Amino acid sequence: MNQFLQKWLPAMTPLAVIAGVLANQMLEPAAFLVPWIFACMSFANSITIHPREIKQVFRFPRSFFLTFVSLQLILPFCAYIAGILLFPDDVWTQTGLLLAFSIPTGIVSLMWISIYGGNRSLALCLILANTLVAPIFIPLTLAVFLGTELPLDTFGIFMGVFWMVVAPSLAALAINATKPAWVDVIHVVGAPFTKLGLLAVILLNSSVAAPYFLALDIKLAMIVATVLALAIIGYLTGLYFAKATGSPKEDQVSMMLLSGMRNIGIGAAIAIVYFPPAATLPVIAGTLFQQILAASFGKWQSLQPKRSTNQYDAAKNRDA
């Protein structure tokens, strides 16, 4: 079941958006389940990570730092500028764009990184660190860029992210460290559940944003095009940093995919709880093409020639 979902997830996510929009009257009353579903997803996604893997970050300090900067500074700034320039009179669309590119990198990026031969240790470290600091960085980013323009429940957002992401992840880490025999059992059940949970979250959040999707006007097209362009910028920024610093190909794959993908489930969960449906629209729009972009960029990068060890050593010596 997990293999089937993994294979067809790129096609199923946009279909889930369409189904959520068309069945909005039936699904919208169940939207309150989104934070609970996402908490279970966070637990299941983190169960295979051992606390000792956090130490691996010291093996890739430059790659880790540059990818983190791309995720938490460069892309949120680009999203803010795009919102101001393209939607100057719509603060909720600006909020949705900023939220869509302030949330942590997507855990599902591990799947694509594994498929295309990326550095899995780097990915695990960055996903874990990025997820753990999310309760601080998400409300802080929103407050810094938009705090003067709209009232923010900063503490509420902090606690929401904590209980949806951090607490379940810490519980999974604790179980991995103290009850390793449980990990395989939980993972076998949890792996397909996380993918079904993602589809459920997309369904429910799409039902809330349905009135805006059904409008089918120029503004909707602009929002989708803007989110698509920003997502592409994310992939290219990660790849640029990787190539500019002479990183090996496996690091290039990881930095590119980690910079381009976002944990849309948590973004949608935050939007639906703390903001009006208009702010949810840019976040949900990302589900239309995120998996397709990941597969396309991963395939493209896998076709590039691999740097030789001598080239990489020369680049490291030059940087030193």
**4-36: pLDDT as tens digits:** 887 787 778 788 888 888 888 888 888 788 888
Q: Output the pLDDT for position 241.
A: 94
Amino acid at site 18 = I
Q: What is the pLDDT of residue 107?
A: 73
pLDDT at 228: 94
pLDDT score for 320: 45
CA distances from 183 to 37, 140, 180, 310 (A): 20, 34, 5, 40
Q: Which positions of the chain have pLDDT values less than 50?
A: 308-320
- What is the pLDDT, as a whole number, of residue 57? 63
Cβ pair 242, 63 in contact under 8 A: yes
Residue 86: per-residue pLDDT: 94
Burial class (CB in 10 A: 0-12, 13-18, 19+), 4: exposed
What's the confidence (pLDDT) of residue 316? 46
Query: What is the DSSP code string of the chain?
Result: -HHHHHHHHHHHHHHHHHHHHHTHHHHGGGGGGHHHHHHHHHHHHHTT--GGGGGGGGGSHHHHHHHHHIIIIIHHHHHHHHHHHH-TT-HHHHHHHHHHTTSPPPTTHHHHHHHTT--HHHHHHHHHHHHHTHHHHHHHHHHHHHTTTS---HHHHHHHHIIIIIHHHHHHHHHHHH-HHHHHHHHHHHHHHHHHHHHHHHHHHHHHTHHHHTT--HHHHHHHHHHHHHHHHHHHHHHHHHHHTT--HHHHHHHHHHHH---HHHHHHHHHHHS-HHHHHHHHHGGGTHHHHHHHHHHHHHTSPPPPHHHHHHHHHHH-
- Give helix 34-46 / helix 167-178 axis angle, nearest 10°: 30
Which residues have CB under 8 Å from 125's CB, separation 6+? Answer: 53, 54, 56, 57, 60, 64
Q: Residue 118: left (phi > 0), alpha (psi -120 to 50), or beta?
A: beta
Indicate the angle between helix axes 277-285 and 218-244, nearest 10 degrees: 50
pLDDT tens-digit map of 195-209: 888 788 878 877 877
The pLDDT assigned to 308 comes to 45
For 75, phi then psi, to 5°, come to -70, -40
- The pLDDT score that the predictor gives to residue 223 is 92
The answer to whether the pTM exceeds 0.85 is: no
